[in-house]
Amino acid sequence: MSTYITPEIQAGLDAARKKDLKRRNKLRVEADGRSFRVLRFREDGFTLDIEDAPHLRGLVDLYDGGRHFLQCLIVASAAEGDEMQYEFKRATPATDRAPVDFDQGEFVPAGLITES
């Protein structure tokens, strides 16, 4: 049995694999007002399609669908095949509230009752 695959068939298989990765993954990176679809997400970074992604560097935001979940400081680390790998220098979870600068106790009153 022969395992030889013609270059045209291999290119078609690679394109189908990349299309499937983009379709399944809802993660996206926003930088400089542009959005890029994440192909793979790892604990220490992520990969983007090398054709779409510029050489990103600096502060970017990661979204899962419409939910902002990470604000990251990144650097492009390596190009591997048709994917560009980026590593996190810092990855901070995004919150919808500003941080408080005081200690909040466990008991928080629901309201204030005044005498009438």
Which residue type, as a one-letter code, is found at position 26? K
Mind giving me the DSSP string for 43-77?
A: TTEEEEETTT----EEEEEEEETTEEEEEEEEEEE
Cα(69)–Cα(97) distance, rounded to whole angstroms? 13
> Between β-strands 27-31 and 45-49, what pairing exists: parallel, antiparallel or unpaired?
unpaired
Least Cα distance to 53 among 72, 28, 70 occurs for 28
pLDDT at 85 over 60: yes
Whether the pTM exceeds 0.85: the reply is no
Residues 31-79 pLDDT 10s: 888 888 888 888 899 988 888 777 888 999 999 888 888 999 999 888 8
> What are the structural domains of the chain?
26-93 (2.40.10.430)
- Residue range 81-100: mean pLDDT, rounded: 86
pLDDT for 61:
92
Report the alpha-carbon angle 45-49-50, nearest 5. 100
